[in-house]
Amino acid sequence: APMASRTGCLALLVLQLFASVEAFHVRSAMLARPLPASRHAMLKKSLPRCVGPSPVSLKMGETQVKEEMIVLPGDVKVSRLGVGAWAWGDRVFWGYDDSQEQEAQKGFDKAVACGVNLFDTAEVYGIGTGWGHSETLCGKFARECADKTDMELVVATKFAPLPNRFLDGRKAVARALRASLERLGTDQCDLYQLHWPGFFADRQFWDGLADAYDAGLVKSVGVSNYSAKRLRAVHKLLKERDIPLATNQIQYSLLHRTPEMNGVKEACDELGVKILAYSPLAQGCLTGRYSSTNLPSGPRGRIFEQRMDKIDPLLSALKRIGEKQGKTCSQVALNWLICKDVIPIPGARNEKQAEENCGALGWRLSAEEVQELDEVSKSFVDSSVEFPGMPLAQM
Q: Which residues are catalytic?
A: 125
Among 150, 138, 111, 77, residue whose Cα is nearest residue 359: 111
Q: How far apart, in whole angstroms, are the C-alpha atoms of residue 264 and residue 275?
A: 9
Using only C-alpha atoms, the chain has a radius of gyration, in whole angstroms, of 20
Q: Could you tell me if 336 and 365 are in contact, meaning their C-beta atoms sit under 8 angstroms apart?
A: yes
Residue closest to 354 by CA, chosen among 81, 135, 59: 81
Query: Which of 354, 324, 392 lies closest to 109 in space, CA to CA?
Result: 354
With contact defined as beta carbons under 8 Å apart, do 129 and 121 qualify?
no
DSSP 3-state of 276: strand
Q: Is the dihedral of CA 284, 289, 290, 296 positive or negative?
A: negative
Residue 251, H or E segment: strand 245-251
Compute CA 122 distance to the chain's CA centroid, rounded to the nearest angstrom: 9
| Contact in structure between 93 and 12 (CB atoms under 8 Å) | yes
